[in-house]
Amino acid sequence: MTLISFVEVCKSFGGHLVFGPATGIIRRGERVGVVGPNGAGKTTFFNLLTGFHKPDEGTILYKGQDITGIAPDRIMRYGISRSFQVVSLFEEMTVLDNVRIGVQSKLGFKGRLFLNFETNRRIKEKALAILERVRLVDIKDQLVTAISHGDRKILDLAMSLTMDPDVLLLDEPMSGLAKGERVRIIELITEDFRKDMKLIIVEHDMDAVFTLSDKILVLNQGAVLALGTPGEISNNQHVQKAYLGERSHAAA
């Protein structure tokens, strides 16, 4: 069954076409890796799927519903959540308070200073459950400024879980991380998140993408170069020529 379909989707900035026309289908149950060189349009693709950019042309359907051009907060309520390539957190607050703010806005109390005892308790419980899930509960009382880069990336994942997403889009969840820290994220994705979320992951680490993905979407200069299984992608001549070059995964 189709989860997301995008048909002839285009996006230009200042008259310069940076994405599309792109057409493809992501089926339910597929974990999708999105790859492509810098500037290929990967983040733009996420921005289009999550309403941060409106397509100039084309249609995006989520579970058969037209979500083209819908505002980000409404798309989140449909169940699509995302992390950001550049992590933005409340630096001077604790890890727990960051997640609490996320949960609070999910419950519709965004920006409210005074909440009753029961509501506060529910928010705190939910935030703690999320921190348990991503294994950050031990550092819950630390200020964000004091935590490691790896913990920040995981906290960013935690923030996207506050929306209870059906579909989670991760934009370079492992960028800038050392190998040991990458493993933490890979474990979370493979052992935990995959149980109840559909995942779409942008990542430059090709080994991680080939390990994590059932399907790989290859973008190049804003166009869909290929969409297929890791085996199909590593044998795809166009992909090898345009992107993987001599370092094709099959040859590695």
Ligand X SMILES: Nc1ncnc2c1ncn2[C@@H]1O[C@H](COP(=O)(O)OP(=O)(O)OP(=O)(O)O)[C@@H](O)[C@H]1O
With CB under 5 A as the contact rule, the residue among 21, 26, 43, 169 that binds Mg ion is 43
**If binding is defined by CB under 5 A, does position 248 make contact with Mg ion?**
no
d(CA 133, CA 251): 37
To the nearest whole angstrom, how small is the minimum distance from the Cβ of residue 194 to Mg ion?
Answer: 23
Which span sits near Mg ion by CB under 5 A: 1-9, 23-31, 77-85, 119-127? Answer: 77-85
Closest contact distance (angstroms) between CB of 85 and Mg ion is: 5
Pick from ligand X, Mg ion, none: which does 44 bind, CB < 5 to 8 A by kind? ligand X
> Looking only at residues 7 through 46 of this chain, which bind ligand X when binding is defined by CB under 6 A?
13, 18, 36, 38-44
Q: Which 49-68 positions form the footprint of ligand X (CB under 6 A)?
A: none
Output 87 or 127, the one with its CB closest to ligand X.
87
Retrieve residue 119's tokens: 């509501």
Instruction: Give the three-state DSSP class for 125.
Output: helix
CA atoms within 13 A on the CB side of 17: 13
Task: Specify the DSSP element, H or E, that contains 11.
Answer: strand 2-13
The DSSP secondary-structure symbol of 242 reads I
d(CA 242, CA 120): 53
Nearest approach, Cβ of 204 to Mg ion (angstroms)? 9
Q: Which of 131, 117, 124 is nearest to 161 (CA)?
A: 131
List residues near ligand X by CB under 6 A: 13, 18, 36, 38-44, 85
